[in-house]
Structure 1
């Protein structure tokens, strides 16, 4: 089953999509969030990726979420969690979720092709990936996950499309 993705053009709709996925039983280790470093700083602050122990991820996410308020908390917790987020300064990207671990394992050489190279395994057509890459550079937030069922896939595609996401 192909990944379900949505490119959101504002923080609020991205947060709703992320929360919808968590309410459906998906966790931070299931949901990928990709944004530019500039977008992270604008919406979540310069120091959203914090240094803490991996065992304290949940508590840290809750603390950051409480500090930023309900609408900004879900994604902020994901990008603040050590082990589930990576900043790629050369590409200007912040990636949170299981994709971050894969990129970290591949090393710097694994991400030289940019977002398109990082997401090629998601089964998304390359022209769509190039559009996503351009939109992320322009301030969009890309959320993706591997759905557990066809019903979940349809649900997220429909919900995210209603939020005017590019799906």
Structure 2
């Protein structure tokens, strides 16, 4: 059964380590998502770092986003501003979710995107709070129990927090 495994990392270097290990274990850049607050310009309130999503997903250099090569390897990395929530750097499938309809309302931006990706609402709220505190959300798509266990082991060995698994949302046939 397809599912995603989630965790939070406290630092960019911890997130980079996790992504490198996932990559080394055979997960592709399209399987892995990362979401982190964009802290560029936090001391410079007169300057905003906004791009359009999904057009902004490929805009800008990796170094300009303040992330290293491992996070830059992820598909569709870019920065975006969620009205009423703030600026974020996102990569992977979560970038598409944030660029979609879930971002339409300020109150449900991140939470709505996470729920849309299959995370239960109570966990989505917890992850939203963690991201706002400066943590980095990492998720990885898995095809079966073996991959889920592998991802969880990688997260545990990297001392990630808030490790959980959720069924992936699937589109219903009409």
- Please report the TM-score for the alignment, with normalisation by the length of structure 2: 0.67
Counterpart position of 1:75: 71
Gaps spanning 5+ residues in structure 1: where? none
Counterpart position of 1:85: 78
CA contact (8 A) 1:32 1:98 kept: yes
CA contact (8 A) 1:31 1:143 kept: yes
Counterpart position of 1:135: 130
* RMSD, matched Cα: 3.4
1:105 offset after TM fit, Å?
4.1
The reply on whether 1:98 has 2:93 as its aligned counterpart is yes
Gaps spanning 5+ residues in structure 2: where? 164-174
Secondary structure of 2:33's aligned partner: strand
1:1-150 pair list within 5 angstroms: 1-38=2-39, 64=63, 72-78=68-74, 83-90=76-83, 91-92=85-86, 93-106=88-101, 108-109=103-104, 112-150=107-145
CA contact (8 A) 2:5 2:140 kept: yes
CA contact (8 A) 1:3 1:144 kept: yes
Relative to its length, the structure with more strand (as a share) is: 2
- Please report the TM-score for the alignment, with normalisation by the length of structure 1: 0.70
Paired residue total: 148
Kindly report structure 1 stretches of 4+ aligned residues shifted beyond 4 Å: none
Structure 1 residues 119 and 108: alpha-carbon distance in aligned structure 2, compared to 1, 3 A threshold: closer
Distance in 1, matches of 2:41 and 2:159, equals: 23
Counterpart position of 2:168: none
Distance in 2, matches of 1:77 and 1:26, equals: 12
Relative to its length, the structure with more helix (as a share) is: 1
